Amino acid sequence: MKRSLRLLGTACTVLMSISTIAVAESVTFPMGAATPSETCGECHQVLFKEYALGVGSDNHSANHSIPATVSSAATAHATSKFTPLASGGDVEWCRSCHFAGSFNIPGKTEVGKQLPNVVNAGEISITCATCHLTPEGKVRSVRTSKNAPHASVVEPALQTSAVCAHCHVETTNTRIVGGQYQTYMEWREDFHKPGLGAQECQDCHMPRTLRKVAEDSDGAPVAVGRHLWTGGHSAQRLGGSLSLSIIQRDQDKAALSFSVTNIGAGHSVPTGTNARGVYLTVDVLDRQGVSRARKEWLFAPNFSARPDDKAFLEQDKKLSGYEGYAQTRADAQGAHEPPVRAGEERLLNWDPALAPGLYTVKARLRYTTDRFRTPVADDEKEMGSAALLITNK
């Protein structure tokens, strides 16, 4: 077990001695959720590389770039501490998800968050221990093996959306359609209940491959979920989520419809923080390729329970702190389309005024992780495109 991981230069020497003991259940984690992930990474090396460096993914994010000679970037879980500090905000509340302590998994259909275990959370991001250590200090797992040097306990909920619900939803059980941080509720109400699919969050976000649970163990390879959690920073993940087509409603007129269908996500697109946005941009090109008409729609979550709208800007002046800042910037961008819900087909109509002639309609879907950043975020990703030749008489 001496094959230590030095990619981050933080390999823990104490562990060298622990790992040579290898007596059943001799390894404990007194620091709880503040146990550095490197500690687990000494023995679970491949999982650690996925989590800390994104090895095996196409994750890309400026926020998430920890110095690494790897083409991908660290997962958002590994770097979650940088985000709230950079944005200011109510640190205690932000911590409950971004630096979370150990927690109990709520019942399968409830949302529920325990108060953050701030003492244990430490100044580190979401760690292996955040998700895997029970408040009693046992390692929650899919299976237990006699090879494990630590006490583990089978937790079926580890393979269900309930474990993700601890953080991927606002703390109330009330669904806010079109609101931000609704991912778990969107999955439960729009995807799971109507039977659009049987997938839990893990089935899409932690695809399993056959591998050893710990590299130096005698245990045989088993199906282990990959620890990459690709989302808005992955072109691969975004690519299959929305389908786009163009319809000419009247074959002699520029009466156009755009069909945007959520075929790939088990929740709304975009989902999560209201900074996420999807743009649908349409250009009508004449035969010389010159744009004669252009239109753009934005799909995004609202900041609060009401739609973002410039009409509220005056009223927003009464708000203070983080809420004032965040509600104002959302309203300043004006009204927009709500996110496309799981299984929804959104039809958008547009009848541009055009001179008679032959045109090519080009439509494009792009994703941004930060619709408020100016100039436009450099991490925009193409999600799909379509083209149609039309005649306008």
Closer residue to ligand HEC, CB minimum distance, 331 or 370:
370
- Rule CB under 6 A: is residue 341 a binding residue for ligand HEC? no
Distances (CA, A) of 332 to 312, 316, 372: 9, 10, 10
Cα–Cα distance between 150 and 25 in angstroms, integer? 4
Q: Residue 110 forms beta bridges with which residues?
A: none
Q: Which stretch binds ligand HEC (CB under 6 A): 2-10, 92-100, 285-293, 308-316?
A: 92-100
Considering the complex, state which of residue 141 and residue 304 has its C-beta at the smaller distance from ligand HEC. Answer: 141
Task: Find the binder of ligand HEC among 65, 134, 199, 281 (CB under 6 A).
Answer: 199
**One of 214, 260, 361, 363 touching ligand HEC (CB under 6 A):** 214
All residues at 6 or more sequence positions from 391 whose CB lies less than 8 Å from its CB, including other chains: 251, 252, 357, 358, 359
Binding characters for ligand HEC, 44-63, by CB under 6 A (x = yes): x--xx--x-----------x
Binding-residue total with ligand HEC (CB under 6 A)? 98
**Which residues make beta-bridge pairs with 364?**
281, 385
HEC secondary structure over 234-262: EHHHHHCCEEEEEEECCCCCCCEEEEEEE
Which contiguous run of DSSP H or E holds residue 345?
strand 345-350
Which residue of 5, 121, 182, 233 would you call a contact of ligand HEC, by CB under 6 A?
233
Q: Which helix (H) or strand (E) holds 337?
A: none
- In angstroms, what is the minimal distance from the CB of 281 to ligand HEC? 18
Selected from 182, 190, 227, 282, the binder of ligand HEC by CB under 6 A is 227
147 lies in the site for ligand HEC, by CB under 6 A: yes
Does 72 sit near ligand HEC (CB under 6 A)? no
Q: Are 102 and 120 in contact (CB under 8 A)?
A: yes
Per CB under 6 A, contacts with ligand HEC among 295-314 are none
* Distance of alpha carbon 344 from alpha carbon 194, whole angstroms: 12
* Beta pairing partners, 390: 359
Q: How far is the CB of 99 from ligand HEC (least distance, A)?
A: 8
Q: Is residue 381 at the binding interface for ligand HEC, with CB under 6 A as the rule? A: no
Interacting residue with ligand HEC among 206, 256, 361, 363 (CB under 6 A) = 206
Q: Tell which one of 29, 279, 299, 303 touches ligand HEC (CB under 6 A).
A: 29
Indicate the length of the chain as a whole number.
393
Q: Which stretch binds ligand HEC (CB under 6 A): 84-92, 252-260, 308-316, 346-354?
A: 84-92
Among 77, 336, 346, 381, binds ligand HEC (CB under 6 A): 77
- The answer to the question of residue 97 lying near ligand HEC (CB under 6 A) is yes
Q: What is the CA radius of gyration of the chain?
A: 24
The least CB distance from residue 366 to ligand HEC, in Å, is 13
- Residue ranges of alpha helices (H) inside the chain are 14-21, 37-41, 45-53, 82-87, 91-98, 118-121, 128-132, 161-165, 183-186, 201-205, 235-239, 313-316, 321-333
Q: Does 225 bind ligand HEC (CB under 6 A)?
A: yes
Contact between 159 and ligand HEC per CB under 6 A: yes
